[in-house]
Structures are given as structure tokens and as C-alpha cells.
Amino acid sequence: MRKSLFSVGAAFALLCCMIPVARAQYTQPTVAPNNTLANVRYDWRWEVYGGLAYSHFNAGPNLIQGANLGGFDLQAARFFTPRWALAANGRGYYGTSGVAPNPYGIEGPFVSEHMFLVGPEYRGPSNIHGSILFHALVGGAYGYFDRALQDQNNNPVPPANVGFFNNQMTFASAIGGSIDLNRSPRLVFRISPDATLTDFGGAGLHEQFTISVGLVYRFGEHPEMLRK
């Protein structure tokens, strides 16, 4: 009996001595760092962008109520250096607008605007997490204002009678840029605010605020570029 107790006690004592040793030899597993952005660079030839857009728009020269329009923003940019590109941009905005007081019972008719722009783009401060770009785009805009203008007898009402511009193509410009947040070396989340200028009615430039959010995809390796 004593021999058994001695054996058990000796085994227990040996086990107790081994535990600190085992603890001392234990090594925390090494977790590999997240290298998702490790290969981000800015020497791609092309960036294409697509996003959802918002514009605060005035459908007439003297309207008190503006129109809050939603739509799309599409862009393709060809980079000739890691910082300079030529961009082509297309936008569409759709919604309803307030009108001037009128005897036709017209309230909140549909309006739309499409913009077709081109111009230089410059990449500013950049790192693996993101970059800031600036652009100055010019081109044309088409405004469609008379789609829902009918009186109580479904007779067409001239846009001017409710304070709108006539349907027309006119000069347009977008001055602004984007904040790009890299999600991978090729995929980017973009926020793009702009001040846009149009000349509907030929009465001088009208400024409006626009913003879009969406995704950029980079492609077309450009080995002759100097990498950042």
C-alpha cells in the first residue's frame, strides 16, 4: 500500500515538475499578417468606375424648389503616367422637380439630365490604403423637362409656363475629384463629389452639387511606367 502511494506521489510530483516546462516550451502560433493591400500600386493603364449618383438640380432659372435627382455615374480613365490620366465620363440624373405656381394643376413633374464629359485627371496624395484624385471635365448636358407637362385635359403645356427650361443640349462641366479607398490591388471603393456647371436657357452658368459612390476596377499593366 505504501509502495503504491509512493508511486502515485512520485508520479504526481513528476507531473507537477513537467507542467512549467511544458508551459515554457509552448509557443503562440504565428498569425500571418493581412497582405490584401501589400501589392497596391498605381501604374495601371486603365481605371473604370461605376456608381450611384445624386444631384441637386434646378430645372428652371427662377425656381424656389430644386430637384433632388438620383441616377448613375460611369467613367473610364486612361493613365499615361502614374499621376496623369484622360477621363471620359457619362452621367444620368432622374427625378421630380418643384414648379412655379400654375393654373394647370401640375405638381412635381419628372425631369432628367444626362452629361457627357471629358478632361484631365490628376492623382494626388496616395499610399497603399487609398488616394485622392482631382479632375476638371467639360462637355455637354441634355436636359429633358416636358415629359410630364399636361393640363387637366392632357394638352401639352410649354415648360416655360411652369418655370422650366426648354428641352435642350448645352455646355456642362464638372470640377471636383474623388477619394479612393483600396479594397485590393485592383478593386477600389470611391466617393466622388463635384460642383457641376451648366448653361440651360443661355442665361449664364448654373452651379449644382453632385456626388456619387461606387467601385473602381484597375487593369492593363503598364511596365514602362515608373512605379510609385
Kindly give the parts of the chain with pLDDT less than 50: 1-26, 31-33, 226-228
Which residue ranges make up each domain of the chain?
44-221
Beta bridge partners of 70: 54, 94
**Cα dihedral across residues 206, 132, 137, 118: positive or negative:** negative
Degrees, nearest 5: CA angle 70-73-77? 170
The architecture CATH gives domain 44-221:
Beta Barrel (2.40)
**Model pLDDT, residue 28:** 54
Burial of 27 from C-beta contacts in 10 A (0-12 / 13-18 / 19+): exposed
Which distant-in-sequence residues (6+ apart) come within 8 Å of 146 by Cβ?
A: 156, 157, 158, 159, 164, 166, 167
**Model pLDDT, residue 66:** 83
- What is the C-alpha separation between 41 and 38, in angstroms, rounded? 9
